[in-house]
Structure 1
Amino acid sequence: MGEQSPSQPSTQCQSHPQSPKPDTHNLIPPESTDECLDSAGVSGSIVSSTTIDARRITELGNVSSPPSKIPLRPRKIRKLTLDGDVSGEDYKAEDISSSQVNSPLATDGKSPGKGKLSHLRAITVPRIQARPLTCEGELETAIHYLRNADPLLAALIDVHPPPTFESFKTPFLALIRNILYQQLAMKAGNSIYTRFVSLCGGENLVVPETVLSLNPQQLRQIGVSGRKASYLHDLARKYQNGILSDSAILNMDEKSLFTMLTMVNGIGSWSVHMFMINSLHRPDVLPVNDLGVRKGVQLLYGLDDLPRPSQMEQHCAKWRPYRSVGSWYMWRLIEAKSTSTSAAVAAGVSLPPLEDIQQEHQQQQLMDPLNGVFSIG
């Protein structure tokens, strides 16, 4: 009932479109014209045609498409990233770093997009710096470690007092002092530094603005050369422009600090190493270009030749992570040898050739920024 034979043409019906509902017994037949069949037939045709369409859709979905002559490129699959899930929310650095390890960006090795890359770069975990040697118990720990790590250095530790380090109010003041003492004996450096501080109005007023207000003529009157005056002004300008700051210097690692400070005119590698040891009290700094430290390593280990700067890392590897303290004892070793040579002169003992004495005196000038002569890096 309600079915049509295949040979008969399908009866057209004008009715309001209405989707069939799951319960066919409650189906309300649409309004029909005189050309339509009865309500039961119309209802049945609607259900049957719907069923046929559903089956046809299923069959079409199962039929595979004919092979194409154009090679297909693999489709890119977009993976869910951290950006879409947590945008606009505040996360701690440790939470983000741990989630990145499990995210697709960290596992598949693919580089993220530009926007994602900038977002990931903005989230960085601060690097933990080693404790300064002036912290309580840190120097004792360093001496104990070096005594066990290097028996030859232990003999020096037994005959010399523990290291001492200067303290400055600000890194800027320490860098100013570093520049003023370059290529000057300690007595002359102290005199010029005292006059410079007085010209600024006290150590508390040695700030970038004050230094920039001093012209070369004023600095020349207190014994500062024109070249050193340009060094002082360059350092003050980099502070004023925000390239350097006391807080940034205190938080930089050794590599970053070396890169940033050597941008200042008049500050080289030797000056940066001395600043990190004597002013910042960093525990693991090896001044490979310092002649005093190199000569001390040669004497300590009985080397035939003066070690080159490229060889110093290998010779002093056992001092890690307290190479600053080991370097301090190298200065004491050279100082003790110089003292013994002076005593030999007073006792009338035969002296080495004059050329050796001059070389030793030159190395003594560069050996210790606290007890010798400051030199440009």
Structure 2
Amino acid sequence: MTAPSRRKLKAACETLAAADPALSRAYDELGVPTWRVGEPCYAALCRLIAYQQLSTKAAGSIWARTETYFREVTPDAVLAADPEDIRACGMSRPKVRHMVSIAEAITSGALDLERVCASDLDLARKELVSVKGIGPWTAELFLLYSVGAMDAFPVGDVGLMEAHKLLSEVETRMEIKEFSAHAEVWRPYRGVAAHMLWGWINDQRAKASQASPQA
């Protein structure tokens, strides 16, 4: 996958900065964000599933064990594996079932990732979420990282809502419905807004970590 060009990202950032003071502050402090890039493949979907509802550190360890076990995470490899062996890597039973379900959809042709990459964004979303195990959050992140869709947007992502709250210098974080409605002003660059917010809050966390006294 190729990320959107820096020229396109810069133009999108300038549009977003003019539309939202919080994004204006993020852009002033960080500039054009680095686009997170992933391959548009089955393993990318499995990785997103592994990271659901876990800390980055814990999920990273689980995914590393999963990759070590399979060497290459493919639909055929997962379908041939004993589900208990996958669970031994740290995956929960529901996550293993999701991996299997997605592998079956790809093998049967019900899910065609090349078609997803070439489709209109709404059609791509529809095809992804039609598969058991791929929810809206997973679909949007796949479309962001692996397809490079500039308007893909993971509604309800706590990190995005927290970053926007901090940048807005307010005490209360928006509820999901309110945040989703607010994000409408960011179209057609909601995915760029997400990268701006993630980039800013990750930078803040890195600075706080560096400032903390070492044990």
Question: TM-score, normalised on structure 1?
Answer: 0.49
Partners in 1 of 2:208 and 2:38 — Cα distance?
34
> 1:104 aligns to what?
none
Which amino acid in 2 is paired with 1:276?
A: L
Partners in 2 of 1:336 and 1:197 — Cα distance?
28
Q: Does 1:318 align with 2:185?
A: yes
Partners in 1 of 2:132 and 2:115 — Cα distance?
19
**Mean Cα displacement is larger for which, 283-292 or 164-173?**
164-173
Partners in 2 of 1:210 and 1:344 — Cα distance?
45
Which amino acid in 1 is paired with 2:44?
A: A
Partners in 1 of 2:16 and 2:115 — Cα distance?
30
Q: Give the share of equivalent positions with the same residue, in percent.
A: 29
2:47 alignment partner, one of 166, 173, 177: 177
> 2:66 aligns to what?
196
SS at match of 1:267: coil
SS at match of 1:279: helix
> 2:162 aligns to what?
295
Q: Shift in Å at residue 221 of structure 1?
A: 2.9
Question: For each residue in 1:190-230, what CA deviation from the matched residue of structure 2 results, as whole angstroms up to 9, or x when unmatched?
Answer: 3332332233333xxx3221211111122123222322211
Question: For each residue in 1:303-355, what CA deviation from the matched residue of structure 2 results, as whole angstroms up to 9, or x when unmatched?
Answer: 56432333334423332221112122223444456567778986xxxxxxxxx
Q: Shift in Å at residue 272 of structure 1?
A: 1.9
1:225 alignment partner, one of 92, 111, 114: 92
> 2:7 aligns to what?
137
Partners in 2 of 1:184 and 1:198 — Cα distance?
20
Partners in 1 of 2:68 and 2:109 — Cα distance?
26
**Mean Cα displacement is larger for which, 333-342 or 235-244?**
333-342
SS at match of 1:165: coil
> 2:153 aligns to what?
286
> 1:146 aligns to what?
16
Partners in 1 of 2:104 and 2:113 — Cα distance?
14
Partners in 1 of 2:17 and 2:38 — Cα distance?
29
Question: For each residue in 1:29-80, what CA deviation from the matched residue of structure 2 results, as whole angstroms up to 9, or x when unmatched?
Answer: xxxxxxxxxxxxxxxxxxxxxxxxxxxxxxxxxxxxxxxxxxxxxxxxxxxx
Contact 2:156–2:180, Cα closer than 8 Å, also in 1: no
SS at match of 2:147: coil
Matches within 5 A, 1:66-85: none
* Structure 2 spans left out of the alignment, 5+ residues: none
Number of residue pairs matched by the alignment: 212
Contact 2:160–2:198, Cα closer than 8 Å, also in 1: yes
Contact 1:298–1:307, Cα closer than 8 Å, also in 2: yes
> 1:156 aligns to what?
26
Matches within 5 A, 1:322-361: 322-335=189-202
- Shift of the 189–305 alpha-carbon distance from structure 1 to 2, 3 Å rule, reads closer
Partners in 1 of 2:165 and 2:36 — Cα distance?
27
Partners in 1 of 2:208 and 2:71 — Cα distance?
43
* Structure 1 spans left out of the alignment, 5+ residues: 1-131, 347-377
Q: Shift in Å at residue 231 of structure 1?
A: 1.1
Contact 1:165–1:279, Cα closer than 8 Å, also in 2: no
State the structure with more CA Rg: 1
- Shift of the 169–319 alpha-carbon distance from structure 1 to 2, 3 Å rule, reads closer
Which amino acid in 2 is paired with 1:233?
A: V
Partners in 1 of 2:37 and 2:198 — Cα distance?
19
Partners in 2 of 1:137 and 1:332 — Cα distance?
18
Matches within 5 A, 1:29-178: 133-135=3-5, 137-178=7-48
